[in-house]
Structure 1
Amino acid sequence: MNHLTPAIVAQSAVRRLPRLALLLLCVAYVLLGFWGRAPWKAQDIEAFGYMLQLAQPGMSEAISWLKPTLLDNPDSNLALLPYWLGALSIQWAPKGLEDVFARLPFIAMLSATLAATWYAVYSLTRHPAAQPVAFAFGGEAKPADYARAMADGGLLALLACLGLARLSHETTPALSQLCFAALLFFGLSTWARHRIQSAVAVSVGMLGLTLSGAPTLALWLGIGGTVICATAQPDPAQRRLSMLDVGLLALICLLCVTTAGALDLWRWRVVPHSMFDLHLLGKLIVWFTWPAWPLALWALWRWRGQLSHVWRYPHLGLPLWFALVTIGATWFTGLSDRALLSSLPAIATLAALALPTLKRSLGALIDWFTLLFFSFCALAMWVVWVAMQTGIPAKPARNVARLAPEFVPEFSIGAFVLAVSATLAWAALVRWRTGYHRAAIWKSMVLPAGGAVLCWLLLTTLWLPLLNYARSYAALVQKITRITDQNACFQYAGISKAQGAALLHHGQARLMPMQAPQPDCQWLIIDRANLSLLSAKIRALGWVEHAAIKRPTDNDETLVMFRPANPLNLPPTRSEEPVR
C-alpha cells in the first residue's frame, strides 16, 4: 500500500489534542445558538409552529401526528420525526419555556452529529490503505494514534465549516437529516470492524432520514455505501460475509420503502435547472463548505493513486459517495443550502485526509489567512457592540439604528463575560499556534475551527438581542398585542405559516380561518401582500381595516388588522388609533 499512500507521518506528529479543550469547544459551539434565542424566521419558527400544534391537548389523535398541520396546511417537507421529538419535549415544558424544551432533541442531534463524524473518521483512517508510509527503521505513526489525530482534524474541519453554524442550530428537519446522515456515515464506516453496532447505526440512520423527509436520499446513501463497504474487503471470506450484510441492508431498505409508502412520504421534488445555473451551485458550495472544500480537493489530488479503484478504499470512496449524492440532491431540489448541510461530515472527512499531506508553506498560508479573517470579524463584532451600547463610533451606531429601527440595546453581564472569555481564549490559541511547539497533523485546523466557534459565540452573546429583534417576529407580535392583548383570537387569511406560528408562540393567540365576525373572535389579520386578492371578500364579510403593523426590520412585511364593521359587543382595545 505504501506506493499508493501519500501520507508520511511520524509518531511525534500524532500527539493527542487535549480532550478537555476539544470538549469545551464542542460544548460552546452546540449550546450557544440554542440557548436564549427566539425562533427566527422563517423555517425555524415555522417548524416550531408544527411542534406547538402537535403538542396541543386536543391533538392526540393518530391522524394529527401522522399529518402535522399549521394554519390547516400540511407540512411540505414531509418530515415527521423532528416534529414528533419537538412536540413530545414541549409537552414536558413548563408554561413559557416551550421553545427552550423544543430545542432539547435538536441539541442532542447536533451533539450526535459531531460524535458520529469523529468516530467515522477514526474508523476510516484505521483502514490499511489510509495509514501512513512505513519507515525503513520504524518511527512511523501508530495506527490508533494516527486515526485519533485524523479524527480530531476531521471534527475541527466540520466545526470550521461556515454553513454549519446557523442551520445546525435551528429546530428544522435539516438538522434532523444532518444527524441521521452522519449516523449512517458512521455505521457504514465501521461496517468491517463492528457488525452489530454498524447495523444498528445504519438502521437508525436510514429510518431517521426517511422520517425526516429524505427517503430517497436514505436509499441512495445506504445502498451505494454498502456496495463500497462490501467490495472493499480484501479477503474473499470476508467478502462472502459482506454479501450477508448486503442482505441485511436489503431488509433495512425494504423497511424504509414500506415506511415511506405507508406514511405517504414519497414526493416528486426534482427542480429542473439549466447548465447556466451551475455557477450558482458552485458559489453555494464555495461559501457553505469553506474552509473544508479546498482541503477536500487537495486530498483527492494527493490520494489520486487510489481514485482509479476508489471502491476498494472506503476512506475515500465512502465520503466521496456521500458528498456526491448530497451535492446532487442539492442540485435537483432547488439549490437549497439545507440539502447541502448533510454533505458536511463527508467533506470534513476528505479535508482530514489532506492534513498529513500538507506542505509547511500551505499550512502557514491557512493559518495566516484564518488568523486575519476571524480576528477582523471578531474585532468588527466588538466595535459594533460598543457602538450599540455607547453610540461611539457613530457610523456603526447609525447603521444599526437604520437597519433595526426602535431597537433598544441591552447589556447582559453573563453574555459579556462569555464574550470576553472567548476572545481571550482566541488570543491564547493564536499565541500557542504562532509559538514554537511540536508539530501535529491537526494543527492546521485549530485556527479555522477556533475562529468559527469564536465568531458564532460572539454572535450569540453580544449580538443576540439585535439578532432576535431583526430575525424573529417577537417585535411584530408585541406591537399587535399592544392593541389586542395576549390570548386574543384571530381569524386569518393570506398569512404565512411562519407568521401564524409567531402569533401562536409570541402572542398566545387562537387562530381560525377567515369567515364572518364571531362574538368570540372579532379580529381578522392578513398579510398586506395578499390584501388586494382578498379585499372584496373582506368587505362582503363585514370587516373594516383597523391598523397596519409593519415588521420593524422589513418594510415589505406588514400585517393588516381588521375589526367588524358592525360591532358585536366589542371588547375595548388598548389603542383606538391606527398603528402604522
Structure 2
Amino acid sequence: MNQPTPAIVAQAGVKRLPRLALLLFCLAYLLPGFLGRAPWKRDDIATFGYMAELARGATDWWHPVLGGMAPEVDALLPYWLGAWAIQLAPAWLAPDLASRLPFMGLLVLALVGTWYGTYYLARSPMAQPVAFAFGGEARPTDYARAIADGGLLAFIACLGLAQLAHETTPALTQLCFTALLFYAMAALPYRPVAPGVCAAVALMGLTLSGAPFMALFLALGGTAIYLLAPPAEGSPKKWHASSLALMALGCALLASYLHLWHWRIDLPQAKLAEWQGLGRLFLWFTWPAWPLAVWTLWRWRRQVFSARFTGLHLWLPIWFVAVASVATLTTRSADRSLLLALPALAALAAFALPTLSRSVGALIDWFTLIFFTGSALVIWVVWISMQTGFPAKPAANVARLAPGFVHSFSLAPFLVALAASMVWAWLVKWRVDRHQAAIWKSVVLPAGGAALSWLLLMTLWLPLLDFARSHAPMVRLVTSAMPASPGCVATLGLQRSQIAAFQFHSQLQLQALGSHNTCDWLIADIDAARQRPDVSASPTWHLTRSVGHPAERKDSIWLYERRLPPPPAPPAATEKQD
C-alpha cells in the first residue's frame, strides 16, 4: 500500500527534547571559540583589523581600508558591527573580545533561524505523518517541534560549521542572514508580518555582507516556489511571491548604489585533483547531514517529483542547498560558500529521521560513538603528553610541528573539559537505553560528539592552537629585533592579516613604504623585497633578520634597518713639494 507520506510516527515518538538541556547544549557549542583566544590568521585577524581601523576613525565607514588595501570581500555590515562593539565596549574589555560579541549574537540567530525554519516546514500539510485508523498519530505541533529539534542537532553536528561559525568574518554574517531568510520563507504563509520583516532584514543583511547574488537568487527562487505551490501547501498566496520579488529588487538597487556587484566567478579547472578536493570538501564539511539529506530525497521522492509540486517542505531547502552548492563550485572561497547550505541541509536531514529503520539508527549511533570517542581520546592523550611527557611521542610531534611552543596548565579549562567528557559518557549511556523512542534520538550523538570535540579543542588545545593559528609568535620574533620604541615602521608587500597582526599584537605605527618615508625600520614580504632592488640591494637598508611563523617552517618576512651610508673618505693629503 502506498502511503501519502513516508513518515509513520506515533505520539510517543515526538517526545519533547527538554528546553533547558537544548539551551545548555547550544551554549556549550557557542561559547568555546569566541572566548579566551587570540585572533587567528588570515580572515579572522584581517577582518578585526578593518574593525579596529573603523573604531579609531582611521578610515572611511563606506570604504574601509587597511594598509591602503580594501577588503577582499565587498562587505560593510560585518566591519560596522565589530567597530560599533569596540566603540561601545568598556575600557577594561579587550578590543578583539568586544568585536566578537555581535558575532556571538549572529550565531545565536543562525541557530534560532534553523530551528524555526525547520519547524514551519514540518507544519506543512504534506510533511505531516500518516494518520492512523484509530488515532494515536503524532499531533502536528508536537511533530513539527520534534523535527525542528532534529534539524538543529543536525546543524550543530556538521563538521564544517565549527571553525567558520566562530570567526569574526563576513562568512558568519552571511550564514546568519541565510538562516534568517530560510526561516522567513518557511514561515511566511503562516505568520506574514514577522517573517516578512525578517525576510527584508535578511536580504539586506546578505547584500551588505558581500553576498548580493545569493540574496537575489534565493529570493527569486522562493518567489518561483510560492507561485508553483498549490494552496494546500501552507496556503502561500501570490502576494507572498510578490513581496519576495520586490525585496529582491530593493536589494539589487542597494547593491548597485553601494557598488557591491563584483564578478567573482572562478570556474574549477579540468583537473582531477581540483575536483577531488571539491568532492572531499562536500563529503566532510557537510557530514553527517548529507547522508541523511540524500535519504530524505529518496524516501520523500513522491513529493519531490510530484507533478502538482506538493513538496514545499522539500523544495525550499533544496533550492537553498542548490544555490550554495553552485556558489561553492564557482568561487574561490568554496568552504565559506558551502557554509551557507548547512541550515537548509540540516532541515532536509531532519525529515529523514521519522523514516529511519532501527538498524540504520543503530549504525549511525555506533559510527558516531567510535568516531567522536576516538577523537576525544586523541585530544586527551596529546594534552596529557604535553603536560607530563608520557607518552613521549605525541609531545615530540608537537615540539616538531610547533617549535618554541611552551605548554602550561590552566585549571579552569581542564575542569570544563573534564565535565564535558563526563557529560558525553552520560549521553552515550542515555542513548544506548532501549526505551528511547523520540525521532530526534539518532542525531543526539552526532551533535553531542561534534560539540564535545570542539569544546575539548577550545579548552585543552587552545594554547597550542593560538600558537599555531595566530600571527602573535611571528610578531614577537620581529619586534624582539627592534628597539622598544622604534617609531614609525615602513611596510612592503604585507598581507592584510599581517598588517592587522602587527598593529594589534605590537601596537606598531605602520606606514606603507614610499619615496618620502623616513622610518628607520622596514618590514617586507620576501617576494616583494626581492622585486625591489632599491630595498634588497640598497646600501640604505640593512637586512637585520629573516623570520616566519614558527609553525610554518619557512621564512616569509625580512626586517630591515635604515643605516646611512658611511661618509666618503677625505682625499689623502699630499706633501707640499718644494
- Per the shorter chain, which TM-score range? over 0.9
1:444 alignment counterpart: 442
Residue deviations 1:226-250 (CA, integer Å, cap 9, x gap)? 32134324269956xx222233223
Q: Deviations over 1:189-212 (max 9, x none)?
A: 001101011111111111111111
Give yes or no for contact 2:154–2:446 (8 Å, CA) kept in 1. yes
In the other structure, the counterpart of 1:494 is 493
CA apart distance, 1:435 = 1.8
2:428 matches 1:430:
yes
Give unpaired runs (5+ residues) of structure 1: 569-580
CA distance in 1, matches of 2:34, 2:316: 31
Q: 1:67 aligns with which of 57, 63, 84?
A: 63
Check 1:551–1:236 CA distance in 2 against 1; reply closer, same or farther (3 A cut).
closer
The whole-number CA distance in structure 2 between the counterparts of 1:273 and 1:419 is: 41
Aligned to 1:290, what secondary structure does the other structure show? Answer: coil
Taking a change above 3 Å as real, the CA distance of residues 557 and 46 of structure 1, as seen in their structure-2 partners, is: farther
Equivalent AA in structure 2 for residue 38 of structure 1: A
Greater Rg by CA: 2
Please tell me whether the aligned partners of residues 4 and 303 of structure 1 are also in contact (alpha carbons under 8 angstroms).
no
Task: Tell me if structure 2 keeps the 8 A contact 1:123–1:147.
Answer: yes
Letter in 2 for 1:117: T
Once the two structures are overlaid, the 10-residue window that deviates more, 456-465 or 437-446, is 437-446
> Are 2:18 and 1:18 equivalent residues in the alignment?
yes
Question: What residue number does 2:75 align with?
Answer: 79
Contact 1:490–1:509, Cα closer than 8 Å, also in 2: yes
| Match status 1:402 vs 2:400 | yes
* Counterpart among 295, 298, 301 of residue 298 in structure 1: 295
Match of 1:573 in 2: none
Measured on the aligned residues, the alpha-carbon RMSD in Å equals 2.0
Q: CA deviation at 1:362?
A: 0.4
The answer as to whether partners of 1:80 and 1:211 remain within 8 angstroms in 2 is yes
Q: Number of paired residues?
A: 561
Say whether the 8 Å CA contact 1:292–1:351 is kept in structure 2: yes
Aligned to 1:282, which of 279, 284, 307?
279
CA distance in 1, matches of 2:555, 2:79: 27
Structure 1 counterpart of 2:134: 137
Query: What's the CA shift for 1:56?
Result: 1.5
Amino acid at match of 2:14: V
- After superposition, the C-alpha distances for 1:35-79 in whole angstroms (9 at most, x for unaligned) are 0111111111111111111111344xxxx1111111101112101
Percent identity over paired residues: 51
Structure 1 position 261 matched with structure 2 position 261: no
User: 2-side partners of 1:452 and 1:557: how far apart?
Assistant: 35
- Offset from partner CA, 1:79-113 (integer Å, 9 cap, x none): 11001101111112326700000001110000100
One-letter amino acid matched to 2:4: L
Cα gap change, 1:77/1:186 in structure 2, threshold over 3 Å: closer, same or farther?
Answer: same
Deviation at 1:554, TM superposition (A): 1.0
SS in 2 for 1:554: coil
- The residue aligned with 1:319 is 317
Q: Is the 8 A contact 2:225 2:312 kept in 1?
A: yes
Query: Secondary structure of the residue that 1:123 maps to in structure 2?
Result: helix
Answer yes or no: is the 8 Å Cα contact 2:158–2:289 preserved in 1.
yes
1:320-370 Cα offsets, whole Å, 9 max, x none, are 000001000111113610110000001100000000000000000000000
Counterpart residue type for residue 282 of structure 1: G
CA-to-aligned-CA distance 1:372-402 (integer Å, 9 cap, x gap): 1000000000000001111110000100000
CA distance in 2, matches of 1:489, 1:274: 44
- In the TM superposition, 1:93-108 aligns within 5 A as 93=89, 94=91, 97-108=94-105
Q: Which deviates more from structure 2 when the two are superposed, residues 329-338 or residues 6-15?
A: 329-338
Give me the whole-angstrom Cα distance separating, in 1, the residues matched to 2:502 and 2:92: 16
Among 381, 387, 390, the residue aligned to 1:389: 387
1:35 aligns with 2:35: yes
Aligned residue number for residue 346 of structure 1: 344
SS of 1:4 mapped into structure 2: coil
Note the C-alpha offset of 1:535: 3.5
Rounded Cα–Cα distance in structure 2 between residues aligned with 1:105 and 1:279 = 36
Number of the residue aligned with 1:512: 511
Q: 1:385 to 1:252 in 2, by over 3 A?
A: same
Q: Give the drift of 1:152.
A: 0.4
2-structure distance, mates of 1:425, 1:525: 49
Look up the match of 1:463: 461
In structure 2, the CA distance between the partners of 1:96 and 1:138, relative to structure 1 (3 Å rule), is closer
The answer as to whether partners of 1:206 and 1:218 remain within 8 angstroms in 2 is yes
Give the structure 2 partner of residue 117 of structure 1: 114
Report the counterpart of residue 4 of structure 1 in structure 2: 4
The TM-score, its normalising length taken from structure 2, stands at 0.94
Structure-2 separation of matches of 1:238 and 1:358: 29
TM-score by length of 1: 0.93
Structure ranking higher in helix proportion: 1
Contact 1:515 / 1:541 at 8 angstroms: preserved in 2? no
Match of 1:90 in 2: 86
Distance 1:76 1:118 in 2: 32
171-180 or 222-231, which moves further after superposition? 222-231
- Paired position in structure 2 for 1:248: 243
- Name the SS for the 1:426 alignment partner: helix
